[in-house]
Amino acid sequence: MNLITLTDPRSPVSEAYRTLRTNLSFYSLDHPIHTLVVTSPSPNEEKSTAVANLAVTLAQSGKRTILVDCDLRRPSLHTLFDLEAEPGLTNYILGESEELPLQETAVENLWLLSSGQKPPNPADMLGSQKLDQIISTLVDKADIVLFDAPPVIAVTDAAVLGAKVDGVLLVLTSGRTRRDHAERAKETLEKAKIRIVGAALTNAPKDSAVGSY
């Protein structure tokens, strides 16, 4: 995993992330998006890398952006940004931190709320009223809040979290995501009446390494 939007901002992949940012901005004109969950159908589909690079491009455009690691089972965003895992989201929910432990990243306008310690009951924690309050607080602090969530068909976390936000973006990986898994993820979210804003295709051939619809 790497932040190509920082290491190689002129690459076709970085440009594709900027295109994704633009597409989301146009979508938001008719359907305002202040909170967005980014997830994938199955594990190992690069959704954490995708949400991190999207966050970077949003921040680079001048939007105050907060990235929240809600993959409480396999957190990785703190590693991508070379920051600390704790204290983080779970520490605050458990009352171990008096203030939201937001960490500044090396990117202007971008903050990270890391996962914190791994809890025994991630879905319950994400479904709590305390998280509703946290989301409200984060929205007051930023133009957009992005949440990295576990894969949809692996656990219930993404659906639980998706019900609390403005929409969900599915990350699919070319040559890796199975069609039936993508369809199951879409059906799972739709049954929960969660708005799917689109999908992003990573590892695509040729110049378009990230696409969206």
Q: Which domains does the chain have, with CATH numbers?
A: 20-212 (3.40.50.300)
Which of these, 10, 115, 114, 1, lies nearest to 53 by C-alpha position?
1
Using alpha carbons, select from 190, 152, 166 the residue that is nearest to residue 47. Answer: 152
pLDDT in tens, the chain (213 residues): 589 999 999 999 999 999 999 999 988 888 889 999 999 999 988 899 999 999 999 999 999 999 999 999 999 999 999 999 999 999 999 999 889 999 999 999 999 999 999 999 999 999 999 999 999 999 999 999 999 999 999 899 999 999 999 999 999 998 889 999 999 999 999 999 999 999 999 887 654 445 444
Does the reported pTM lie above 0.85?
A: yes
Q: How far out from the chain centre does Cα 166 lie? A: 12
Quote the strand ranges of the chain, DSSP E.
35-39, 65-69, 103-104, 110-113, 144-148, 167-173, 196-202, 210-212
